[in-house]
Homo-oligomer: A and B are copies of this chain.
Amino acid sequence: MPSEANGQSIGAGALLAILRDGQARTRAELAQLTGLARSTVSQRLDALMSHRWVVTTEDAISSGGRPAAAFAFNENVRVVLAADLGATHARLAVIDLGMSVLAERAEELPIDRGPEATLDWLVAAFQEMLAETGRDQTQVCGVGVGLPGPVEHASGRPVNPPIMPGWDDFPVPEWLGERLGAPVLVDNDVNIMALGEHWAAGPEVDHLIFIKIGTGIGCGIISDRRLHRGAQGAAGDVGHIRVPSSDALCRCGNIGCLEAVASGASMAAALRAAGVEAQGSRDVVALMRAGDTRAARLIRQAGREVGGVMASIVNFFNPSVIVLGGDIAEAGEQVLAGVRETIYSRSLPLATQHLTIRASELGDRAGVIGAAVMIVEYVLAPETIDQTVTG
């Protein structure tokens, strides 16, 4: 149901949404496109111009008589700051409203240093990057952040994040917002990676599942081009789905969870139990690449186990694309083959005949791109623009 059904009017934001395609238009054209009164169009263009969302183009448009001024979206005037914070690494970017990356960096950053130290570093890094690109903080219109743990969607606060000591219920949006002077949206890393991969896959993909196989296993769900977060924001938590024929003990206390047999952490533990030095998921993939047959066998089996769980999800959800990401996905065909084989043999033919199952397109960059997508969509949403220009 479009928003007009709720009785909303065509505000400045809706005008900007029309101009977002990059084409310049005259007042008359905008009045005709929207049905708005000419005076209303002028009012709203004035509001948008006073906030520099819209500029008059140099070439006036003439249709025989006096040339009329044309108006265009000013996609370079503002930037968004995007950060994907992992357990030990961070990737940051400064991106304009047309999704062009102006600056990007990846650094080591242990998240267990706690929120203040981590976010202090983040603010300083963003300020350096702004300076590098010749921008300043007044041009920042929003900050998108991904965190490696559960985040309450409404408040943007971490909720009992297992690998982030000190972060529980920390007011990340307020803390960053005060220092960076812009609205802040926070979500978990898997959701922002799903947004990034969906942006890369293109808007014609309606239903996409991004599954991350790293230390743990989780997925981000796109239904009808929008992130499906579920009733408690807990959707996508597939790591503790029970797999048949396993009685492995999971760190959650249950037995037979997918994570207990197919996560990087469980594979590393299995290798250590066999006397092989392996700390985490990256070591497991490195061992496989070095020719360790035990690591290769574990990874192939992990692919089949993930495929078994995804086969049920394919029957239930009928996505058109499944994207594999995370450290273990770096194993490429060694893990993808088992995922594909199991999904194709167990899901219904109708649901698999046009299904694409592939590795991440953006790799390590999926999260930071997704964080930018999240904030650009928020900032340019008509409701937000209306608040900005009238507030």
> A residues near B, CB below 8 A?
1-11, 13-14, 17-18, 20-21, 33-38, 40, 150, 206-207, 219, 221, 223-224, 226, 228-238, 240-242, 244-245, 254, 308-309, 311-313, 315-320, 346, 348, 350-351, 353-355, 377, 381-383
B318 adjacent to A233 (CB under 8 Å): yes
Given contacts A4-B3, A235-B318, A318-B235, contact A244 B241 (CB under 8 A): no
- Which residues on the B side are within 8 Å of A346 (C-beta)? 242, 254
B237 adjacent to A315 (CB under 8 Å): yes
**Nearest CB on B from A281, distance (A):** 21
**Nearest CB on B from A352, distance (A):** 9
Name the residue in A13, A235, A316 with the highest tally of chain B Cβ atoms < 10 Å from its Cβ: A316
- Which residues on the B side are within 8 Å of A350 (C-beta)? 150, 232, 234, 237
A316 adjacent to B316 (CB under 8 Å): yes
A355 vs B230: C-alpha distance in the bound complex, in angstroms?
11
A221 vs B228: C-alpha distance in the bound complex, in angstroms?
12
Can you report 19 A-B residue pairs in the complex whose CB atoms are below 8 A from each other? A2-B2, A2-B4, A2-B14, A3-B3, A5-B20, A7-B17, A7-B18, A10-B10, A10-B34, A230-B351, A231-B319, A231-B355, A232-B318, A234-B318, A234-B348, A241-B312, A244-B245, A254-B346, A317-B317
- Which residues on the B side are within 8 Å of A230 (C-beta)? 207, 317-319, 351
- Which residues on the B side are within 8 Å of A309 (C-beta)? 312
Q: A11 — nearest CB in chain B belongs to which residue?
A: B35
A17 adjacent to B5 (CB under 8 Å): yes
- Which residues on the B side are within 8 Å of A5 (C-beta)? 14, 17-18, 20, 381-382
Given contacts A231-B318, A234-B351, contact A242 B17 (CB under 8 A): no
Q: A228 — nearest CB in chain B belongs to which residue?
A: B223
B316 adjacent to A313 (CB under 8 Å): yes
A381 vs B223: C-alpha distance in the bound complex, in angstroms?
21
